[in-house]
Amino acid sequence: MQVPALLAPVVDLVFPPRCPLCGEGLAAQSGLCAPCWSELAIPGQPSCATCQRPLESSHAEGTICAPCLADPPRHDGIAAGTLYNDASRKLVLAFKHGHRIALAPMLARLIAAQLPPEVGEGWLVVPVPLHRWRLWSRGFNQSALLARELVNASGAELLVDGLVRTKRTPTLGGLGRKARSRALSGAIAVNTRTANRLRGTRVLLVDDVLTSGATSDACVGVLKRAGADKVVVACFARVLDEALGLN
């Protein structure tokens, strides 16, 4: 939530601005210090025309990466604010598990900078859902907070309950592709109360971290079966270890 301009000096007096990564003093409550900004890995160009995976500089515009050629994705593009490294991991942990929800505007600005230019009016922004017990224990859906900020930045419309998680799923880390698929089978569904709004629409699906892509792939499949014409996946951090050296 943005602090009103008139209250900002009071807030800064009570809570002096600090970099959320290193604790260094800042001029305003709006970001990171310069050294910590430099530690973030921002996806660059050229990139895959299908999934925006960063490619070596020798690749021409319009190149499709090998993973997309071997297994064409269901989605219609990925917009990642950063590549997952130590700096982005610390921000995600502070945001999601440290309850630093005031980080949402900054994380969303990084995502917004990577969105395709056509994302805006006429699009629906749908967060990846949490199971109700996970939502109850955490107190918030971090993807929904990012989605709300992206709506403010893009002019699209928020559909916060477009998807529901119908069963609890285990942590997917360490599971193989088939095991992840089994764990997510039937776990995500379209909310029957809002299903009619998805037909013929373009959707921005929002998550905090894109790891294997299993969860987002399940969401994209459900959205397209519900009639969505196009689904672009947006996330703050994307796990692509092989691409870190290209940025």
Per-residue model confidence as pLDDT tens digits over 71-117: 999 999 999 999 999 999 999 999 998 989 989 999 999 999 999 99
> 50-83 burial string, b = 16+ CB within 10 Å, else e?
bbbbbbeeebeeebebeeeeeeebebbbbbbbbb
Global pTM reads: 0.89
What is the pLDDT confidence band of residue 7, given thresholds at 50, 70 and 90? Answer: very low
Same domain, 28 and 124: no
In a domain, 175, yes or no: yes
CATH code of the domain containing 130:
3.40.50
In a domain, 241, yes or no: yes
How far is 148 from 158, CA to CA, in rounded Å? 7
Same domain, 26 and 84: no
User: Which residues span the domain enclosing 33?
Assistant: 9-39
Same domain, 159 and 133: yes
Residue with tokens 């930045």, as numbered in its chain: 153
Collapsing DSSP states into helix, strand and coil, what is residue 199? coil
pLDDT of residue 12: 46
How far is 185 from 63, CA to CA, in rounded Å? 32
Per-residue model confidence as pLDDT tens digits over 128-166: 999 888 888 888 999 999 999 999 988 899 999 999 999
pLDDT of residue 8: 44
Per-residue model confidence as pLDDT tens digits over 37-48: 999 999 988 999
When divided into structural domains, the chain yields a total of 2
Nearest to 124 by CA among 52, 229, 235: 229
Nearest to 91 by CA among 109, 78, 79, 77: 109
Nearest to 108 by CA among 148, 165, 164: 148
Residues whose CB falls within 8 Å of the CB of residue 185, separated by 6 or more in sequence, listed in order: none
Mean pLDDT of 8-30: 66
Same domain, 105 and 207: yes
In a domain, 3, yes or no: no
CB 116 within 8 A of CB 90: no
In a domain, 173, yes or no: yes
Same domain, 22 and 80: no
Same domain, 56 and 150: yes
**Sheet with 123-127, side-by-side order of all strands:** 78-83, 230-238, 202-210, 123-127, 157-158
